Structure formats: structure tokens, C-alpha cells
Chain A
Amino acid sequence: RKEVEQDPGPFNVPEGATVAFNCTYSNSASQSFFWYRQDCRKEPKLLMSVYSSGNEDGRFTAQLNRASQYISLLIRDSKLSDSATYLCVVNDYGGSQGNLIFGKGTKLSVKP
């Protein structure tokens, strides 16, 4: 069974904190990885793609560990506006064509 697992949280952190989320995936053939952000009652929005070499976008850093089959998202200097649910997404190659498997999300709450 091909799955994407995330800690549901919630992660309650103060402003300015650094927080990290992990996500494990079961399909070793997966090639594409993404982090999405979903605000309450809104559609998910792409936060960043995850590249093999790791990538950074401002306060956000994504990493991929193929050997252990997990991806991570690091948020530095947390802002109140970072409060949201963060979804890990993995392409299910070998399964349904073009199917992207979503984790159930990790909820982050940044407090003043």
C-alpha cells in the first residue's frame, strides 16, 4: 500500500521559533515531491517543490532523503501568518498515472 505519512500535530510555537515537519513516503520509485500550505477553508497552495539537493526559499527550507524515504520542511523565524496546515505531496509513479498522493497534513499554530 502506497502511503504518505505526516505527524498531524498541532505544532504550537511562539513567534520567531524554528519548526520542522517530516513526511515519510512508501513508494521508493517516487520522483516528485512538494509541500503545500492550506489555510482554513481554502484550497491548498503550492509552497515549494522539493529537489534532490535540497532547496531554500526565504525562511523555508525543504530537504529530501531518498535512502530513508522522507522529506522535511524547516520554517525559521516563524510568523503569525505561517499558521496553516502543511501538506506533503508525493508522486505515485507506478500507480495511477499522474497521481499525486497527499499526506493528511500537519497543523501549525504560531502564537504571539
Chain B
Amino acid sequence: SQTIHQWPATLVQPVGSPLSLECTVEGTSNPNLYWYRQAAGRGLQLLFYSVGIGQISSEVPQNLSASRPQDRQFILSSKKLLLSDSGFYLCAWTGVPGPLHFGNGTRLTVT
């Protein structure tokens, strides 16, 4: 069966520090991969998605970036965090077509 792993679960980082969140999927090949963010009390915002290795589409302009160095690995990064980057970050995968399956999420607090 397919599983998705996301880490860390919680993170507290100072403003201006770098960020790296990692997500891996097991049990499937060539999944579509996604990074979402959910601010406190808000809906899900799609940040990036990828349909293959090295293929990244950005949905919103910001100081975040994503990379997909391997088929089942998706990384979210920032060189310098802002206070507004705080939120609940969710990695997800889907076959095409199909529903999204989410990782457990990373709760990021930028102080």
C-alpha cells in the first residue's frame, strides 16, 4: 500500500533563517506531488505541484521554492523565512486521476 512521510512534525524557526521540509512517498510510481499551506483558521492554499522529476509548478509568488530530485521525493525550501510563512504545511500525492492523500503535516512557527 502507498504511504507518505513528511517531517518534521513541528518546527520553530527565527525570521530570516532557512527552511527545508521533506516529503517521501512509498508504494507508487510517478505520483503527482503537492505542497499546500494552511494558515490558522484558513483554507488550504496550493503552493507547488510536480508531475515528474525536476518539474515544478508554482501557484503563488513567494519566498518559497520546491524541488523534486527523485520520483518520490518532494522538498520545500526557503532561504529566508518571513513571519507570514507560519502555518501548517502539507505534502500530498495523487495518482491521475484520483483523490489527494496527505502527509501528517508540519506545523511551522516563525518567530
- Taking Cβ atoms with an 8 Å cutoff, the residues of A that contact B are 31-32, 34, 41-46, 49, 87, 89, 91, 96-100, 102-105
Contact = CB atoms under 8 A, between A and B. Distances in A.
B35 interface: no
Nearest to A4: B43
B50 to A, nearest CB: 9
Interface of B: 32, 42-44, 46, 49, 51, 57, 59, 88, 90, 94, 96-105, 107
A43 B82 CA distance: 23
A46 B94 CA distance: 12
A103 B105 CA distance: 19
Given A41-B107, A100-B94, A34 B44 contact: no
B49 A98 contact: yes
A44 B49 contact: no
Contacts of B46: 96, 99
B94 A43 contact: no
* Closest 5 pairs (CB-CB, A-B): A104-B43, A43-B102, A98-B32, A102-B44, A43-B105
Contacts of A97: 51, 57
B102 A98 contact: no
A98 B94 contact: yes
A99 B36 CA distance: 12
Nearest to B44: A102
Contacts of B96: 98
Contacts of A89: 99-100
